Amino acid sequence: MQILLIMSTNIAFLHGNLGKDPKIKTVGDKKVASFSIATTRSYKDKDGNKITDWHNILVWEKLAEFAEKYLSKGSEVIVSGEIQYRNYENKEGQKIYITEIICSRFDFIGKKDETKSAKEATPNEDLPF
């Protein structure tokens, strides 16, 4: 007799481009980077437009340092991590719901010269993201 053990998992893999440079903060004594990436679905809406989804990404500690140094608007990345849901009440008393990926790994995609740091990137490059 075989016993099959099935465990639940919470893993997200996303491949997309950064919409803006990462925002860097310090929470307590830990650095955190936040950014969003755009992913495009394989089908179009009723008007023939590509459907773009935006995903909020949080990166902590050492990975946040790498994000600060190497990621910038337009960077193409693959992100993996856990999906987190949270909510809070704003000043108007409305409940705000947030879905984000707590990133445990990201990889650069594209040509080597396309993965420059924000300081080395062309400052006025007009990307459609």
Tell the CATH superfamily of the 12-112 domain.
Answer: Nucleic acid-binding proteins (2.40.50.140)
pLDDT at 9: 85
Q: What is the pLDDT of residue 110?
A: 66
User: Cβ atoms within 10 A of the Cβ of 117, count?
Assistant: 13
- SS3 label, residue 18: strand
Q: Rounded to whole angstroms, what are the CA distances from 9 to 16, 41, 99, 104? A: 22, 24, 17, 14
Query: For the chain, which residues make up each domain, given as ranges?
Result: 12-112
Q: Do residues 77 and 71 lie in contact, with contact meaning Cβ atoms separated by under 8 Å?
A: yes
pLDDT digit string (tens) for the chain, length 129 residues: 677 666 778 999 999 999 999 999 999 999 999 999 999 887 888 998 888 999 999 999 999 999 999 999 999 999 999 999 999 999 999 999 999 999 999 998 865 444 444 334 333 344 343
At residue 1, the pLDDT reads: 66
Predicted pLDDT of residue 127? 39
